[in-house]
Amino acid sequence: MPTPAKPQHAGLRDQSATARLLAADERDAIAHVRDLAALTRDRASEARDLHKLTLRLVDDGAPAAAGDRQDAASDREQAAFERLHALVDREILADALAVAANDPLTGARARAAGLHELDLELARCRRGGGQLVVAYVDVVGLKALNDSKGHAAGDALLRDVVTLIRQNLRTYDLTIRVGGDEFVCAMSDMSLIDARMRFKKVAADLAAAPHAYAIRAGLAQLRAQESATELIARADGELIDGPHAQH
């Protein structure tokens, strides 16, 4: 099932996050250079002190060594300042990335971040020999609801669907919004039968709501050497044509 392209503002947000990270790295690099400069000046002052003691050139050596120590202290202070700014930049970036990783409407994982996490979960299951079931969920009638009652009603339905999914899955199961009315859920170490029963409960709870809305859910279990894209495609195929889709 086709999904909309990544919004332009998401690309701009990614560019901003990358710029902040590069700025933080640059500040750390500057701090490292200043620390090296401070160390060099300290070594120079020690060398002058040794030269002073050896040649007894007190009048010429002492002022230069004191100046180097003062410059080294200044470099260390500036390095600490740069590191503080780098830390602040990274904290701001971490907050921005945490916000960007979630869909602002439903609270589900955003497409890019969620699919990356799905790849990691798939690799973990392969390493440990565990099971992984993916559900492809389609919210039925969203466009008609938007047209008849407005987008606020459609937004409320999407939030209700995600809430019901989370109530019927485990806290660590992954829910990703991959399109306007489409979600992908990943459940590790869960049987296909158990996953199917959980989504039947989601569909039943939604049907019992005052407006009796519906979802369709297709499920697929990870096969050997199967990629995340292939696994999602099989789940999507079950939603469209399979005998286990919820209507």
User: Which amino acid is located at 100 in the chain?
Assistant: A
Counting Cβ atoms within 10 Å, is residue 30 exposed (0-12), middle (13-18) or buried (19+)? middle
Q: Which two tokens stand for residue 128?
A: 């440990």
pLDDT in tens, 136-147: 999 999 999 999
Using alpha carbons, list the distances in angstroms from residue 8 to 4, 13, 57, 105.
Answer: 11, 9, 69, 17
Question: What are the structural domain ranges in the chain?
Answer: 8-100, 111-241
pLDDT in tens, 42-80: 777 776 666 666 555 445 545 666 677 777 777 777 777
Cα 225 to its chain centre, rounded Å, is 25
Determine the pLDDT at residue 3: 47
CB 203 within 8 A of CB 214: yes
Question: Is residue 150 left, alpha or beta, with left meaning phi > 0 and alpha meaning psi from -120 to 50?
Answer: left
The tens place of each residue's pLDDT in the chain, 247 residues long, gives: 444 444 445 555 556 666 666 666 666 666 666 666 677 777 777 766 666 665 554 455 456 666 777 777 777 777 777 776 666 656 665 554 554 689 999 999 999 999 999 999 999 999 998 999 999 999 999 999 999 999 999 999 999 999 999 999 999 999 999 999 999 999 999 999 999 999 999 999 999 988 889 999 999 999 998 999 999 999 999 986 544 444 3
Counting Cβ atoms within 10 Å, is residue 56 exposed (0-12), middle (13-18) or buried (19+)? exposed
What is the topology classification, in CATH, of domain 111-241? Answer: Alpha-Beta Plaits (3.30.70)
